[in-house]
Amino acid sequence: MRPSLKSKRGQAGIVSAIIILIALFTFISIIYTSYDLTSQYEEVRQKVSQLEIERLEENLIIEKIGLGLGVIHINVTNTGSVPILIKYAIVVYKEKGELRLVTDELNVYLNVGERIINVKIDVPPPPIDLKYIILVTSRGRSFIKVIEAT
């Protein structure tokens, strides 16, 4: 006995509903994933852009350099519009007619407009012929002070 067509009515409806549901689920998942990833990426980009802007707003004045026994004393003033953390000092000096460098970790924090005197930088023991002092901030800016010959 052949099944009547009447009994198969509704099957196509179920199949199409399932197909539509799967398609809808996939589509929504793709949209959600894309949105999630794009927003994460944008968030990072904004954070980095903010860092770059603040980096440009940094300004530092290095003054009054005094040389002690294995130490250099400097005065620094934050003339920028953001607080500054001086992370490192690179000291370039001349020894036996050749330029050499030494680095020292400082971690000196300066608020906007603040001036700190007698910041100590460790250097090789004297006599050293100082040439430059480069201060590196936490945002990666370098400020150089050329030491004039005395």
Partner 1 sequence: MVLRRDRLGLSEIISALLLTVIVMGAMSVLYLLMSTYYSEHKSLLYLTYALSIEKVKERLTIAYTLYNSTGLYICIYNYGYVSAKIVSVYINESLISLSSKSLLRVPIGKLVVLHLNVTLDPGIYLIKIISDRGNEYETFIKI
Q: Which residues bind partner 1 (CB under 8 A)?
A: 1, 3-4, 7-8, 11, 14-15, 18-19, 22, 26, 29, 33, 37, 40-41, 44-45, 47-48, 51, 55, 87-88, 90, 92, 98-101, 103, 105, 134, 136, 138-142
Q: 77 has which bridge partners?
A: 61, 115
With respect to partner 1, which residue has the nearer C-beta, 20 or 112? 20
Closest distance between partner 1 and the C-beta of residue 54, in Å?
Answer: 11
Nearest to 123 by CA among 106, 137, 138: 106
Closest distance between partner 1 and the C-beta of residue 137, in Å?
Answer: 8
With respect to partner 1, which residue has the nearer C-beta, 22 or 112? 22
Whole-angstrom CA distances from 40 to 32, 36, 123 are 12, 6, 44
- For 119, residues 6+ apart whose C-beta sits below 8 A from its C-beta are 73, 74, 75, 76, 86, 106, 108
Closest distance between partner 1 and the C-beta of residue 21, in Å?
Answer: 9
Closest distance between partner 1 and the C-beta of residue 52, in Å?
Answer: 8
- For 122, residues 6+ apart whose C-beta sits below 8 A from its C-beta are 70, 71, 102, 104
Closest distance between partner 1 and the C-beta of residue 1, in Å?
Answer: 7
32: its two tokens: 């959600």
With respect to partner 1, which residue has the nearer C-beta, 50 or 117? 50
Task: For strands 60-67 and 142-146, give the pairing.
Answer: unpaired
With respect to partner 1, which residue has the nearer C-beta, 101 or 117? 101
